[in-house]
Amino acid sequence: MQYIDLTHTFNDSMPVYPGDPQPELVKIAQVAKDGFLDFKLSTSMHVGTHMEAPAHMLAGGQLISDYPPQKFFGRGVLIDARGKPLAGPELLAGLQIRKGDMVLVIFGWSSEFGGEEYYKNYPEISEALAKNLAALGVSVLGLDTPSPDRAPYAVHKILFKSDILIVENLTGLEALVGQTNFEVIALPQKLQTDAAPCRVIAKILA
């Protein structure tokens, strides 16, 4: 059984969405001095690999803490959108997507993480593709970009209205290219918030 970590390591120098505060990860105790090691974390919820719930953009929408554990496990499907500025529904050709699947989209954009281009010129998901995924009843959409779209965030709203959670800033999706039998585990911290840091793992079954 092979496990692939699709999560960026959280640290205080990681890039943030323009206008968001930089996270602070501060050592507040040391073994040599205090007998134990401890850190203090201050961060917004939309930093690094994180999961977003409908409350992020829909008034009265569900929070991360509202979801049961089974929402965070599922059969994985990879959409290969490498080299495309916009991922459309034509990329679904040949894929078998079932209700409840966790769909990941690889643009190959994680290679830009930490660079100037990452938040400026990232590729997007088309509204047509988002509507197709909603109609198919997928549970989670994850991607290796900072967002599936830009303001006014129509794609976000299409997904949220269909109770599809969004995972942004994945990495390492290249390891799943060619894999047709895998599961995804995407566990956010159980916070009473619109989003939360998330550890995402792909489990290769064959």
Q: What is the pLDDT of residue 1?
A: 82
Q: pLDDT per residue over 78-131, tens digit each?
A: 999 999 999 999 999 999 999 999 999 999 999 999 999 999 999 999 999 999
Q: Which residues contact 179 (CB under 8 A, 6 or more apart)?
A: 78, 202, 204
Q: Which residues contact 35 (CB under 8 A, 6 or more apart)?
A: none
Write out 10-73 in H/E/C secondary structure: CCCCCCCCCCCCCCEEEEEECHHHHCCCEEEEECCCCCCCEEECHHHCCCCCCCHHHCCHHHHE
Question: Within 10 A of 6 (CB to CB), how many other CB atoms are there?
Answer: 25
Q: What is the pLDDT of residue 42?
A: 97
Q: pLDDT per residue over 27-84, tens digit each?
A: 999 999 999 999 999 999 999 999 999 999 999 999 999 999 999 999 999 999 999 9
**Residue 138 and residue 113 in contact, taking contact as beta carbons nearer than 8 Å:** no
Q: pLDDT per residue over 125-178, tens digit each?
A: 999 999 999 999 999 999 999 999 999 999 999 999 999 999 999 999 999 999
What CA–CA distance (Å, rounded) separates 32 from 40? 18
Tell me the sheet residues that pair with 31: none
**Residue 6 and residue 170 in contact, taking contact as beta carbons nearer than 8 Å:** yes
Element (H, E) at 77: strand 73-80
Third-level CATH fold of 2-7+45-204:
Glucose Oxidase; domain 1 (3.50.30)
So where are the chain's domains? 2-7+45-204
